[in-house]
Amino acid sequence: MNQNCDVCKFLENPKHQILLTDKWSVGLGDNHAYLGRAYVTLRAHKPSLSELDADDWREFEDLVRKLENAYGKAFGAVPLNWGCFMNNAFQEEPVHPHVHWHVFPRYKQAPEFADLTFDDPLYGHHYDPKAERNVSDEVVEQIANKLKQYL
Amino acid sequence: MNQNCDVCKFLENPKHQILLTDKWSVGLGDNHAYLGRAYVTLRAHKPSLSELDADDWREFEDLVRKLENAYGKAFGAVPLNWGCFMNNAFQEEPVHPHVHWHVFPRYKQAPEFADLTFDDPLYGHHYDPKAERNVSDEVVEQIANKLKQYL
C-alpha cells in the first residue's frame, strides 16, 4: 500500500470485482464502450512490468486464459486487446505508477445485453481510447455476474 | 509457419531486428512517432496469449526487463507502453492472428537523436495510435544499434 497511489486506494474498496487471486484483482468500470472493458490490477504496489516476480507472472498467465475463455463464452468477444500503460501516473511528480492491465474485448457481432446494443464500429482496428458508453451500476453488475458464470 | 499469415512471412526476413531469442523476435518498423517503437513477435504461429506455453512466457518476462532497461538507458524512455491486440488479423476471414506485442516508449523529455527531435506531446496520456513519423532506413538502423548497446 502506497499512501499516494490512487490505484492502491481503489484496491481497498474495489467496485464490480469479477475475480480476485493472491496477486491480482479484476474489475469492471462504468465505461462499456467495449462491453466488459476490465482492469486487471496487481494487488502489490509495483511500478513496472520489470518488477513483477515469478508468482505475479504465473497468476497473470492463468488470468489471461480464464478471461479470454470467459469473455468468449459470455459475450462472443474475440480477440481481447491487452494493454499495460500506466500513463496517467506520469502526469504529476512525484510519480506513483502501479501495474495494471487494460482489457478491451472486441466484437465482430455487436452483442445485445441488458436491452442495450454494444456495437464495436472499429472492429479489426485499434480501439478508440476516448470512446465512452457509461452504463448504470445495475447494468455493470449484470455484466459482472454474466462473466462470473464462466470464471 | 502458417502460409497465410503475414507475420510468419515477415519473420522469415525480419528488418531492423534488435533481439532474437528462442521464442521471440524483437524489431523496429519505420514509424518512430514514439522513438524506438518496437514489435515483440512470437516466432511460433499461435493465435492468442491463451496459447502461450510456460517457456514463451518465461522468455517474454525476461524480454520485458531487458527492453525496459535498454530503452531507459539508451533514450530515457519511461514508461514503456505494452499492447497485445492482433486486430488487423480480424479484418478478413479466414482469420490468422499471430501473437505479437507493440511497444510504445514514452518520453517526458523529447529525445534528440540522429539530428531529429522525437517529441511526445501526449506524454502522460494514451499514445496516438495514428501518429506517424517515418524515418529513413539509415536512421532506423542507428536507433537499432543504439538499443543493441544495452541489450
What is the pairing mode between strands B17-20 and A17-20?
unpaired
**What are the respective helix, strand and coil percentages of chain A, to the nearest 5?**
30, 20, 50
Which one is the CATH code of B6-148: 1.10.8.50, 3.40.50.740, 3.90.1150.10, 3.30.428.10? 3.30.428.10
Which residues in chain B have their CB less than 8 angstroms from residue A68's CB?
Answer: 48-50
pLDDT value at A2 more than 90: no
- By C-alpha distance, the chain B residue nearest A70 is B50
pLDDT value at B1 more than 90: no
- Give the angle subtended at the CA of A108 by the CAs of A103 and A112, to the nearest 5°: 85
pLDDT value at A142 more than 90: yes
Structural contact between residues A151 and A17, judged by C-beta atoms closer than 8 angstroms: no
First to last CA, chain A: 27
Q: Is the Cβ of A125 closer than 8 Å to some Cβ of chain B?
A: yes
Question: Hey, of A37, A51, A86, which one would you mutate to test binding to chain B, going by the most B CBs within 10 A of its CB?
Answer: A86
- By C-alpha distance, the chain A residue nearest B91 is A124
ipTM over 0.95: yes
CA distance linking residue B39 with residue A43, whole number of Å: 28
Domain boundaries defined on chain A: 6-148
Averaged pLDDT score across all residues of chain A: 97
Nearest to B103 by CA among B133, B127, B135: B127
Helices (H) and strands (E) in chain B, counts: 3, 7
Q: Is the Cβ of A151 closer than 8 Å to some Cβ of chain B?
A: no
CA distance linking residue A42 with residue A13, whole number of Å: 14
Q: What is the pTM of this model?
A: 0.98
Residue A61's pLDDT is: 98
Nine-digit cell at B147?
538499443
CA distance linking residue B140 with residue B151, whole number of Å: 16
Averaged pLDDT score across all residues of chain B: 97
Q: Is the Cβ of B82 closer than 8 Å to some Cβ of chain A?
A: yes
Structural contact between residues B27 and B16, judged by C-beta atoms closer than 8 angstroms: yes
Give pLDDT tens digits for B36-90: 999 999 999 999 999 999 999 999 999 999 999 999 999 999 999 999 999 999 9
CA distance linking residue A57 with residue A59, whole number of Å: 5
Q: How confident is the model at residue B3 (pLDDT cuts 50, 70, 90)?
A: confident
Give pLDDT tens digits for A21-38: 999 999 999 999 999 999
Give pLDDT tens digits for A57-87: 999 999 999 999 999 999 999 999 999 999 9
Residue A51 three-state SS: helix
Interchain contact, A90 vs B123, CB within 8 Å: yes
CA distance linking residue B86 with residue A98, whole number of Å: 25
Total residue length of chain A: 151
**Angstroms from B144 CA to nearest CA on chain A:** 21
